[in-house]
Structure 1
Amino acid sequence: MNLRDIDLRKLNSITKYPSIPTYHVMGDGGRLTEERQVTFDGEVYLSEKVDGTNSRLIVSPDGDYIIGSREELLHARGDRIWNPSMGIVDAVRPVAERFFSGEGWTSAVMVLFMETYGGNVGGSAKQYTGSKAVSVRLFDVIVFDGQLEEMARKSPEEIAAWRESGGQPFVPSAHTEAHTEGLGIEPTPRLGVVDASEIPASIADTAEWLASKLDRTRCAIDAGAGGAPEGIIARSADRSRIAKLRFKDYRRTLKGKR
């Protein structure tokens, strides 16, 4: 399907990254409760959560592409002007151009979700760079196989409900990187695959487990990086369940219990 044939407002909604729930339910004052919001079974894939800004690259078989932030579309291939918001287009555009240089062709419309980080992006930028350098990391991929045309005929309300209920066709957790080979973009660091039974249920035990899995960021851009990590993303093997575990949430919660 040609990207130019789709209402841009609908395309923006169809390809927008859904909210990731916290592993434990977030209560009052930004403190977690002991109730788990997401539970897993079987294999769980762990990766580092990078503190940057959500970016997306939509590519189609005809060589067209669109770059966007989490909330809006910023630039399309051939545009003379692009939105400089958060440095996303400058960071992602080289990946987009490499995609159609013969190294990363696609037979379907795909959406690559990346984190643009470093530079002046967010309060944690100094944890990744001491020279204000900017980088991108891939963390999820969608491959549309007929669903895009179908969803483009839906109402905005139907699209939003479909997206937030897990309707987007994400690539299984183990296969994400295979879709970007040769593009020169690294994935968010993979921290291993664990059985769901290894992830603790209580807040105190989860905080300890979190620290044991990631004591320093693996996404440092240069030697001047502060190195403090933001957290971990946990995904089920089929990518149907996903949760975020942020160090600051557990620190804040445990501090409030003392």
Structure 2
Amino acid sequence: MLRAIDLAALNTATKYPSIPTYHGLDPKNGGLIEDAAAFDGDVYLTEKVDGTNGRIVSFPGGDYVLGSREELLYARGDLIGNPALGIADALRPLADRVTPPTSGIRVLYLEVYGGKVTAASREYTGSRTVGYRLFDAADIPLDVLEQPRARISSWREDGGQQFLDEGELTRSATAEGIELVPRLATVRAGDLPNGIAEMQTFLAGHLPTSRVTLDEGAGGHPEGIVLRNSDRSVIAKARFQDYRRTLGRRTRPARGR
């Protein structure tokens, strides 16, 4: 099947869409502004892991492609693959055993972390151990690949990918024996903080240390939290460093002229 597919179209259709920040970003300085995302109903909180985005793109019959956030790296049976960030090496054993879809394309989105993946790897490992956690999954119809790439990109960013809801994602991870990013809590939308200072306190209360450390030598400082409703129609991220930086600017004395 893979030989008949436009790989550039496949790459475009299966990329993970960008996640907005919980508080808006000021285009002038990149700081946060007092404009919080609007949720309703139950909101699921999960740990945001500071690693690199990996994709397992599965097809009926067992073929698969592995990718990073931006490019495809390896196809099942390749003798040579792109070694970027160790993604293919980390995910190939998992890709070899996951259940292929009966139709269409199933994409598993995983955070590959530790090792020497990012500057924050020391927060998860003291011995360069590499791990991964599943954070999302989506189903994509094959006929999407027949469209021009620009149209596929717009389709993706407009929510065209069919993401599994919270219950489906949990059941799929259990069936495949894949660890999810940690579920921290479920809160009502009305209990979410609106202010920036209040959100910093909220983050510290729900995630004082990382829950995905790989060994005793890890630093344990977490990156942040992802907030999503059950069907993933609203999703946002809140990173500790964004709140520290923004609040630090507020308390820093103004420079004299």
TM-score range, shorter chain: over 0.9
Aligned amino acid, residue 131 of structure 2 = S
Separation of aligned partners in 2, 1:225 and 1:183: 27
Within 2, Cα distance between the matches of 1:98 and 1:177? 18
Q: Is the 8 A contact 1:112 1:142 kept in 2?
A: yes
Q: Which residue of 2 aligns with 1:152?
A: 145
Kindly provide the amino acid, as one letter, of the partner of residue 21 in structure 2: T
Aligned to 2:92: 93
Distance 1:162 1:77, change over 3 A: same
How far apart in 2 are the matches of 1:207 and 1:61? 44
Q: Deviations over 1:204-227 (max 9, x none)?
A: 111111111100000000111100
Residue 30 of structure 2: aligned partner: 30
Shift of 1:187: 0.6
Q: Percent identity?
A: 50
1:1-258 counterparts in 2 under 5 A?
2-27=1-26, 28-36=28-36, 38-99=37-98, 104-108=99-103, 109-144=105-140, 147-149=141-143, 151-258=144-251
CA distance in 2 between partners of 1:95 and 1:183 (Å): 9
- Asked if the contact 2:17/2:157 (under 8 Å) is kept, the reply is yes
Is there any run of 5+ residues in structure 2 with no aligned partner, and where?
A: 252-257
Distance 2:233 2:5 in 1: 27
Quote the offset at 1:183 in angstroms.
Answer: 3.6
Alpha-carbon offset, residue 255 of structure 1:
0.5
CA shift for structure 1 position 175: 1.9
Contact 1:95–1:184, Cα closer than 8 Å, also in 2? no
Cα distance in 1 for partners of 2:240, 2:112 equals: 20
Residues 142 and 169 in structure 1, CA contact (< 8 A), matched pair in contact too: yes
Q: CA RMSD in A?
A: 1.2
Q: Distance in 1 between matches of 2:174 and 2:59?
A: 17
Distance in structure 1 (CA, Å) of the matches to 2:218 and 2:177: 22
| Structure 2: distance between partners of 1:224 and 1:124 | 13
Please tell me whether the aligned partners of residues 58 and 100 of structure 2 are also in contact (alpha carbons under 8 angstroms): no
Contact 1:32–1:250, Cα closer than 8 Å, also in 2: yes
Q: Is the 8 A contact 1:116 1:135 kept in 2?
A: yes
Residue identity matched to 2:32: L
- Retained in 2: the 8 A contact 1:217–1:228? yes
Report the Cα distance in structure 2 between the residues aligned to 1:4 and 1:189, rounded to whole angstroms. 37
Does the CA-based 8 Å contact 2:228-2:235 persist in structure 1? yes
Matched positions, count: 249
178-187 vs 79-88, which moves further: 178-187
Equivalent residues of 1:58, 1:67 under 8 A apart = yes
Q: Which stretch of structure 1 is more off in the superposition, 177-186 or 222-231?
A: 177-186
Alignment correspondent of 2:255: none
Q: Give the secondary structure class of the aligned counterpart of 2:119.
A: coil
Contact map agreement 1:130 1:224 (CA 8 A) in 2: yes
